[in-house]
Structure 1
Amino acid sequence: MDFKIKKATLEDLEETAVLFNLYRIFYRQESDVERGKAFLKARLLHNESDIFLAVADGKAVGFVQLYKLFHYTKLEKQWLLSDLFVHPDYRGKGISIALIDRSKQWCEETDACGLMLETEKTNDIGNQLYPRCGFEYDGLHNYYHWWKK
């Protein structure tokens, strides 16, 4: 399969929002394309995230979204690979690996020390994919969340 990876812009917002909605549904969220589109638009307008799209057959079929963080021990910038999704019709064709590779290249281009990510323990595909792509499982840390009410 022939596909390319490109950096998303506001011109790609509609297609990106549709994929983002499918991604959120995968994580058991209610479908809400318009709210997702507004969220992505704000991230792009304020340079708060970088999104790369996989394009095949003339349309966006996958994406990765990265957020800038800073690593406290390395004292350097790093990227949070927050979201990775490939449309079910295009899975198994190397698109996820290409999006991860592009994210690694982005680290080089932006002088970042690396990527970090988290995924649910039940994400069998991701939990097999990430080690194959060079990610190391961090069993030393507990991750906690606090959400305002």
Structure 2
Amino acid sequence: MIRKATLQDIGQLSELFDQYRIFYHKDSDLPAAGQFLTERIENRDSEIFVAESEGKLVGFVQLYPLFSSTRMKRYWLLNDLFVQKSDRGKGFSKELIEKAKDMAKLTDACGILLETGKSNDIGNKLYPSYGFEMYDEVNFYEWTNN
């Protein structure tokens, strides 16, 4: 079952989010994960949907609002998608992606953007299989303030 995350989900959602961050080579920090997700939900900074199976959370997708000036419409940034290892291959990623696409349609967004690591073999096979296309018309640059 896919549904919108609530503050009551923070405990389990924080554990999944922490696992997601570890996957991307970040240090585990469960308290900070909980605080970060609490702030996103309370401030309505993002949309978080969770996959639930047999009363426990097994995955999530988090989207942030962006805007396209040239299209004069909302865009969604699919920043996080994660399904715990023991529940992969059961269709949860597909359901989470479809929920994200449904939300984009409901909000009249022009699309969903995402990025994933070049070494993320699973993601690099998953996203094109659900209609996402590699965008090679522009160069993406990043400036960080670490």
Report Cα offsets for 1:34-63 as digits up to 9, x if no partner. 001101111111100010000012100000
- Cα deviation for residue 73 of structure 1 reads 2.3
Q: 2:129 maps to which residue?
A: 132
Q: 2:66 maps to which residue?
A: 69
- Structure 2: which amino acid aligns with 1:132? S
Q: Does 1:43 align with 2:40?
A: yes
Q: 2:13 maps to which residue?
A: 16
* Aligned residues with identical type, % of pairs: 49
Q: TM-score normalized by structure 2?
A: 0.97
| CA-atom RMSD in angstroms | 0.9
User: Hey, what's the Cα distance between the residues in 1 that align with 2:111 and 2:49?
Assistant: 17
- Structure 1: which amino acid aligns with 2:78? L
Misfit runs of 4+, over 3 Å? none
- Which of 99, 104, 108 is equivalent to 2:105? 108
User: Hey, what's the Cα distance between the residues in 2 that align with 1:71 and 1:100?
Assistant: 21
Q: Which runs of 5+ in 1 are unaligned?
A: none
- Cα deviation for residue 147 of structure 1 reads 1.3
User: Hey, what's the Cα distance between the residues in 1 that align with 2:70 and 2:57?
Assistant: 37
User: Hey, what's the Cα distance between the residues in 2 that align with 1:18 and 1:75?
Assistant: 37
User: Hey, what's the Cα distance between the residues in 2 that align with 1:124 and 1:28?
Assistant: 15
- Which of 139, 142, 145 is equivalent to 2:139? 142
SS in structure 1 of the partner of residue 77 of structure 2 = strand
- Cα deviation for residue 72 of structure 1 reads 2.6
Q: 1:123 maps to which residue?
A: 120
